[in-house]
Structure formats: C-alpha cells, structure tokens
Amino acid sequence: MISTETVNRSFDVSISSRKEIGLKLPSDKKRRYHAWKNVFDFLISILCTITVLSWLLPIVALLILLDSPGPVFFLQRRVGRAGRNFTCLKFRTMLVNPEANAKPAEPNDSRITRIGRFLQRSKIDEFPQFLNVLIGDMSIVGPRPVMNADFIKFSLLIPNYSMRNLLKPGITGWSQVKGLHGPSTSFESIFHRYYWDIEYIHKANFWLDLQIISRTAALHFHFFDAQLTG
C-alpha cells in the first residue's frame, strides 16, 4: 500500500507541476508510441473478438437470460478521453434496477445475479469492451473509465482529477494490477487509483503496457486455476 506520506507528497505534486507536465505536447517518441498503441489495440481487439467473443458471447448471453429477466448487455455512459462521454459495454451482472447508473456494485450486493457474481469475479463481464476498443472509445491498457456520477464526485475530492482523461480509458490498467478493484469508498481508495493512473500516464510505454497485460492475464489464470482446484 502507498503510505500516507507518499499520498500527501504526490497530492501536492499532482496539483502543481504535474498539471504543467501532463499538458505539454507529446514528444516524437510519445507520438510513435501512441501510433503503435492504436495499431496494437486494433489488432488485439480483432483477435479477441474472433477467437473469444465469437463463442463466449452466445454462451454468456444464454446464461444471463436464463438467470434473470432483462437485456444481455449493460450499457452505461462513462467518461473517456478529453472528458468525452461514451457508452461502455459490459455483460449485465445485476438485476435491472433504477440505481445502476448512480450506485456501483458492492460486495454482497443483493442486485447481483447468480451468474453475475461469477462474471464479475472472473472479469468476464468486461470482455464486451473489446468492442469499445475496436470503435476507438477505449484502449487495452489505460485508466479505467468511471461512470459520470463517480467522476463528478471524485473531481470534487481531487483537484485535476480530469488529468486521468489525457489518455483513452483501458480495459485494464496499472491500478488494477496493483489490486485496486471494486467500489472506491474512501478518499484513500480513490486517491490510490488516481495516483497509479497518473503514474501510468507519465510513464506509459509499450513495455509497460505488455507488463500490465501479462500481469492481468496471470491474475485471470490464477482465478480460474483456483476455481478448478478449489
């Protein structure tokens, strides 16, 4: 975990010098990285759509429809690059309810369906976001997109919170491989994610992306291995 001293020091930096650093025009090296990142995102999302979603989607769709009434997909407006809203795709994991766009899922949330609990724990509910990557709203790696209600709330707590939006949001990110999952219920949990998101924005490079993807894949493998042997 990040110490309180580190949080305070990083907070001071984030509201002063980092604002100037983050808004500078990217160097030629960064431009090349972002160009290759776009190509990489497109190729990986095409590959995952053809080899995984093509058979996973009908299976998960059937399980969702058998488990509870409602649509297969959960569509939610989230904040993307440069603060632009986009429709984020997920497999539906909760009962249809009026609080879905204002109250994120919590542990032991009564709104979560039986199949939805497995989809959330395994992160399979996020797989439709490869389609978001295909149309250019998201990237494979980047800060996770937050829903509009949370973005407004977090922006009131952390100055320059919108700096997270300098890059496209990602299916996975540095915060996630650091173990920061689930709802953010305190200033510390909100800031920890912000801290690692900003670190990623400043240090983003192809090798870091590969490390994050590799660690994400390892976490998924560990989950399924535990289910099979547990």
Q: Are 147 and 78 in contact (CB under 8 A)?
A: yes
> What is the spatial distance between Cα 51 and Cα 45, in angstroms, rounded to a whole number?
10
**In angstroms, what CA-CA distances link 66 with 60, 89, 100, 115?**
10, 20, 21, 9
Tell me: pLDDT of 6 over 70: no
What pLDDT was estimated at residue 105? Answer: 79
In 3D space, the residue among 208, 178, 182 whose CA is nearest the CA of residue 1 turns out to be 178
How far CA 42 is from CA of 73, 171, 196, 206, in Å, comes to 22, 13, 25, 15
Q: What distance in Å separates the CA atoms of residue 89 and residue 61, rounded to the nearest whole number? A: 13
181: pLDDT strictly greater than 90: no
Q: Is the pLDDT of residue 13 over 50?
A: no
d(CA 168, CA 113) in angstroms, rounded, equals 30
Higher pLDDT, 9 or 200: 200
**Tally of CA atoms within 13 A in the half-sphere of 49 that contains its CB:** 15
Q: At what angle do helices 54-67 and 114-122 cross, to 10 degrees?
A: 150
Give tens-digit pLDDT for 27-66: 777 889 999 999 999 999 999 999 999 999 999 999 999 9
Q: What is the DSSP string of 7-52?
A: HHHHHHHHTTHHHHHHTSPPPHHHHHHHHHHHHHHHHHHHHHIIII
pLDDT band, residue 100 (cuts 50/70/90):
confident
Question: For the segment 144-168, what is each residue's pLDDT rounded down to a tens digit?
Answer: 999 998 999 999 999 889 999 999 9
Q: What digits encode the pLDDT tens for the residues 67-93?
A: 999 999 999 999 999 999 999 999 999
Higher pLDDT, 131 or 102: 131
Q: Give residue limits of the domains in the chain.
A: 4-221
